[in-house]
């Protein structure tokens, strides 16, 4: 085979669309079951999950699933008198699963931990220092299902750093992060709105007294005025 024929063969192979291996043999946990599993462990205010489409690494099909829980109570935030401080928030807990089996050791050595660590969680409303996991009442669970899980060693304690696997993990984690960000931003808006309402309600009686002095209103008229102002406040400032 000549050099030109070899180059032509190489170009033809790179352009050819090779069918991915069958993914019928993969057993995902499912988004509903992922959330139910978190609910059995963590009592949180918000849950989100994501199941990616099957992908391939080195000819082996695999599938990534992710779920997170946000807003659980911990020892650091049970005291209501403590001021809100992101430094006192717990560090995100990462739960890794391979073919429905939890991975308990070498947490920071696997592809799952790297993908979670490389995610910009500040975009989703969490505080995060450079090169560290985000802080907040968050638990994230990542599951990889495959016919051949690429472990880093024979002990099967961490997932190998294959680019295809890390990419799919990041996409699944970011999908859950976007759902979390929507929830966090909505909670902040509600909190700010309630704070504004409290401020306005605090000054409504003073406004009524000022109008009584200016317009020479009676007490009943002042009470009606305050009631109308309160109703207007409830209608105009919707959450």
CATH number, residue 116: 3.30.230.10
pLDDT at 176: 94
E strand residue ranges, 60-194: 60-70, 93-98, 101-103, 138-146
Q: Quick one: 136 and 229 in the same domain?
A: no
Residue 26 CA: distances (Å) to CA of 33, 35, 163: 16, 20, 20
What is the rounded distance in angstroms from the CA atom of residue 236 to the CA atom of residue 239?
Answer: 10
Q: Which two tokens stand for residue 226?
A: 């305050």
Shared domain check, 112 and 215 = no
Dist CA 27 CA 71 (whole Å): 30
Query: 151 with 177: CB under 8 angstroms?
Result: no
Q: Which residue has the tokens 């695999």?
A: 62
Q: pLDDT-derived band of residue 166, with 50, 70 and 90 as boundaries? A: very high
**198 and 107 belong to one structural domain:** no
- CA angle (170 as vertex; 166, 175 as ends), nearest 5: 155
Average of per-residue pLDDT values in the chain: 84
pLDDT score of 87: 60
Confidence band of 156 (pLDDT split at 50, 70, 90): confident
- Using an 8 Å Cβ cutoff, are 62 and 144 in contact? yes
Give a yes or no: residue 217 inside a domain: yes
- Whether the pLDDT of residue 95 is over 90: the answer is yes
Q: Which residues of 93-112 are buried (b: 16+ CB within 10 A; e: fewer)?
A: bbbbbbbeeebeebeebbbb
| pTM for the full predicted model | 0.74
3-state helix, strand, coil in the chain (%, to 5): 45, 20, 35
Q: Which domain holds residue 106?
A: 20-188
pLDDT band at 79 (very low <50, low <70, confident <90, very high): very low
Instruction: Indicate whether 140 and 67 sit together in one domain.
Output: yes
Asked if 134 and 128 count as a contact pair (C-beta separation under 8 A), the reply is yes
Select from 168, 188, 208 the last residue of a domain: 188
pLDDT tens digits for range 96-120: 999 999 998 888 888 999 999 999 9
Asked if 113 and 144 sit in the same domain, the reply is yes
């Amino acid at each position: 085979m000549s050099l030109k024929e070899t180059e032509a063969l190489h170009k033809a192979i790179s352009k050819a669309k090779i069918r991915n291996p069958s993914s019928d043999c993969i057993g995902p946990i499912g988004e509903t079951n992922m959330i139910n599993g978190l609910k059995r462990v963590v009592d949180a205010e918000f849950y989100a999950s994501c199941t990616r489409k099957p992908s391939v690494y080195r000819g082996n099909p695999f599938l990534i699933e992710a779920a997170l829980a946000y807003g659980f109570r911990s020892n650091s935030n049970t005291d209501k008198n403590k001021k809100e401080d992101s430094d006192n928030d717990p560090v995100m807990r990462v739960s890794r699963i391979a073919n429905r089996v939890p991975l308990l050791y070498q947490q920071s050595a696997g592809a799952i931990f790297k993908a979670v660590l490389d995610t910009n969680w500040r975009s989703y409303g969490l505080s995060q220092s450079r090169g560290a996991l985000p802080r907040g009442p968050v638990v994230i669970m990542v599951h990889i299902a495959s016919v051949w899980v690429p472990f880093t060693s024979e002990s099967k304690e961490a997932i190998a750093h294959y680019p295809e696997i890390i990419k799919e993990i990041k996409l699944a984690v970011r999908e859950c992060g976007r759902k979390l960000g929507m929830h966090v931003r909505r909670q902040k808006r509600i909190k700010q709105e309630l704070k504004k309402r409290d401020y306005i309600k605090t000054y409504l009686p003073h406004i009524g007294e000022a109008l009584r002095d200016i317009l020479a209103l009676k007490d009943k008229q002042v009470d009606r005025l305050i009631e109308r102002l309160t109703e207007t406040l409830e209608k105009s400032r919707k959450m």
